[in-house]
């Protein structure tokens, strides 16, 4: 990873009141004890990278710099950022996924609430600061991995946005709020989930950009639109692991077959997501990820060589296969006492790489669903097309700007 293209993602809680720094500091020192396995730093071994326990306080910083910044070497892979009414936590993806990070954040907010009012909301959490189960440390991929499963076949390259990149620092993010009830009603009307609905809208926007480009006579070699949709495996395989335990499904449409209507895309997305989240197919996917780690010849390649190979693999087997990423963390559920603190949440996905260019993160709370677009290009065409599609489907959108809402 480079300094520009980090794997850092961010969760932000916009509170109803200004953050009290002393309560937050106390809450952070408690949360450090509750999640000791996040106090690690990345070290280079001869054959692999490894995480080394590093009992340093989690840094609390003013939130006045670029979001999702790279973590410097030899430091923790987590930071907390504060500004006015906003508390954010940034994680390197190597540490955990969105599910694990949100659990950490939820606990931090509960501790914060407790410190503010000296009430005991923490006991309402399924895991308290006094019980750290060993399962939280486990690599659940290994538990559910079956060795004799054939690996997934790599897919052809997908369509990618043709926009030119921003000057450095490239990454900027924009947030939009929609009513959870309204989008739920729209999704229910079509008998699909909110994730299906958003992914279909995203694909529809990409199709519009492709068709617009085609009408101008510009050639595009890759004609498949594929979206990577991460799936929290904790919902499929019982696990309390706080390490990464998610995989992705990739619904696709083939533009060589002609124009797809929104309803057609919705149907494809809905069924493909159901099909690919089938437990057996997910097993095949896990075997692809973990399988190579188990091979002795892969193990014995020195790290500097392995890094070169993995870098190539990242672009060829990884990013090249899909046109975009849509991560839905779902509707945030908090204990009632903690809920009263929060206005809404924002999930900022890791900065997209030069191939993907734009990424999208979604999180809901109460009636507020926040869409966060990370973008490294000069164009906002995808965001505009996406929001116009939502609006044309009867879902009003508000742009969020420094914690205020603006009608679009």
Q: Is 119 or 220 the residue whose CB approaches other proteins more closely? A: 220
DSSP sequence for 97-145: -HHHHHHHHHHHHHHHHHHHH----GGGSSS-TT---GGGGS-HHHHH-
Neighbours of 216 (CB within 10 A): 7
Report the C-alpha gap between 193 and 224 in whole angstroms.
Answer: 23
Give, for 174, the enclosing helix (H) or strand (E).
Answer: strand 172-179
Stretch binding other proteins (CB under 8 A), from 60-68, 120-128, 254-262, 371-379:
60-68
Position among 1, 51, 58, 82 found at the interface with other proteins (CB under 8 A):
82
Residue 58 makes contact with other proteins by CB under 8 A: no
Residue 40: CA count within 13 A, CB half-sphere? 19
Q: Provide CB contacts within 8 A for 350, sequence distance 6+.
A: 6, 7, 8, 9, 68, 93, 359, 374
Position among 84, 117, 263, 406 found at the interface with other proteins (CB under 8 A):
84
DSSP 238: -
Position among 61, 129, 264, 337 found at the interface with other proteins (CB under 8 A):
61
Report the C-alpha gap between 295 and 369 in whole angstroms.
Answer: 43
CB 196 within 8 A of CB 227: no
Least distance between other proteins and beta carbon 23 (Å): 8
Q: How many residues bind other proteins (CB under 8 A)?
A: 23
Stretch binding other proteins (CB under 8 A), from 12-20, 165-173, 179-187, 376-384:
12-20
Position among 1, 7, 20, 172 found at the interface with other proteins (CB under 8 A):
20
Stretch binding other proteins (CB under 8 A), from 14-22, 224-232, 269-277, 333-341:
14-22
Token pair of 119 as six digits: 């009430």
Least distance between other proteins and beta carbon 62 (Å): 4
Least distance between other proteins and beta carbon 194 (Å): 33
Binding site for other proteins (CB under 8 A): 18-22, 24-25, 60-64, 82-85, 154, 157, 312, 315-317, 320
């Amino acid at each position: 990873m480079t300094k520009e293209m980090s794997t850092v993602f961010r969760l932000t809680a916009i509170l109803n009141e200004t953050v009290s720094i002393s309560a937050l500091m106390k809450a952070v020192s408690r949360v450090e004890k509750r999640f000791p396995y996040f106090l690690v730093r990345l070290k280079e071994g001869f054959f692999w990278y490894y995480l080394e326990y590093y009992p340093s306080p989690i840094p609390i910083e003013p939130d006045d710099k670029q979001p999702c910044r790279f973590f410097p070497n030899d430091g923790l892979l987590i930071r907390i950022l504060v500004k006015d009414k906003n508390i954010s936590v940034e994680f390197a993806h190597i540490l955990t996924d969105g599910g694990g990070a949100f659990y950490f954040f939820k606990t931090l907010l509960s501790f914060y609430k407790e410190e503010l009012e000296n009430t005991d909301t923490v006991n309402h959490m399924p895991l308290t600061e006094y019980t750290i189960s060993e399962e939280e440390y486990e690599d659940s991929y290994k538990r559910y991995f079956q060795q004799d499963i054939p690996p997934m076949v790599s897919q052809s390259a997908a369509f990618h946005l043709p926009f030119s990149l921003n000057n450095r620092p490239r990454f900027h993010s924009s947030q939009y709020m929609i009513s959870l009830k309204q989008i739920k009603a729209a999704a229910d009307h079509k008998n699909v989930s909110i994730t299906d609905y958003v992914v279909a809208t995203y694909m529809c926007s990409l199709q519009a950009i492709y068709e617009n480009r085609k009408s101008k006579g510009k050639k595009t070699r890759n004609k498949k639109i594929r979206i990577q949709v991460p799936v929290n495996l904790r919902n499929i395989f019982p696990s309390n692991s706080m390490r990464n335990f998610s995989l992705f499904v990739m619904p696709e449409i083939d533009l060589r077959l002609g124009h797809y209507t929104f309803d057609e895309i919705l149907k494809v997305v809905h069924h493909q997501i159901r099909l690919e989240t089938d437990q057996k197919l997910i097993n095949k996917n896990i075997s692809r990820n973990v399988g190579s780690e188990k091979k002795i010849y892969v193990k014995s390649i020195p790290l500097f060589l392995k890094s070169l190979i993995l870098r190539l693999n990242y672009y060829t087997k990884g990013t090249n296969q899909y046109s975009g990423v849509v991560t839905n963390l779902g509707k945030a559920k908090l204990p009632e006492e903690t809920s009263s603190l929060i206005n809404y949440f924002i999930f900022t996905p890791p900065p997209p790489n030069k191939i993907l260019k734009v990424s999208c993160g979604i999180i809901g709370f109460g009636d507020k669903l926040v869409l966060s677009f990370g973008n490294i290009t000069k164009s906002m065409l995808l965001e505009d097309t996406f929001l116009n599609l939502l609006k044309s489907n009867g879902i009003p959108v508000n742009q969020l700007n420094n914690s205020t809402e603006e009608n679009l």
